[in-house]
Homo-oligomer: A and B are copies of this chain.
Amino acid sequence: MEQSNRLNRELAYTGTILKVYRDTVVTNGVQKIYDFIHHDGAAAVLPVLEDGRILMVRQHRNALDRFTLEIPAGKLDAPDEPMIECAARELEEETGYRSDSLEYLMTINTTVAFCNERIGVYTAKNLIPSKQHLDDDECIDVEPWEVGDLLALIYDGKLCDAKTVAAITAYAQREGIR
């Protein structure tokens, strides 16, 4: 099968966390301009309490103009930060719990048509109470949720954050939760 062939990548705009490029790509002999967004990557964690409930975070998202229910997550501090360290840090900062036993669940590319963002997703059990450390522009509520109730929100189209949907459905699939 043919590989698309990039003739040129030109930096078009530098944002706060993103770099926006204008790529010239040839596929099937047809030349087109593609948008490409560079993102340094992120990590997310599914924190499972001893009683099986999931620690979720609720926050206002400027991009959606609404509050979202998500699993804890955040950008890598540097492009080469190990994803599991980022996940452990974001868990503690956002929820006030830490864990010494993070397990790899999967990796997602959020939107492959135009962006290279990668999120490493981990499961955290044996949660130990610690202290929330939010950034000065963060405002986050922490809420424990039953997996079944989260699945109902997902299939009702009310919980839509991709990393969260993927993590919850994957966890439920693996644990046999219907």
Contacts and interface: CB of A to CB of B under 8 A. Distances in A.
Interface stretch (A9-17, A87-95, A125-133): A9-17
A25 B17 CA distance: 15
A93 B18 CA distance: 32
A23 B173 CA distance: 38
Mostly, the A contact residues are mixed
B61 A139 contact: no
A112 interface: yes
10 contacts: A1-B58, A16-B32, A18-B20, A18-B114, A32-B137, A63-B112, A106-B165, A107-B157, A108-B165, A176-B178
Interface of A: 1-4, 6, 12-13, 15-18, 20, 22-23, 25, 27-28, 30, 32-37, 39, 42, 58-64, 67-68, 70, 75, 104-118, 136-139, 141, 151, 154-155, 157, 160-163, 165-166, 169-170, 172-174, 176-178
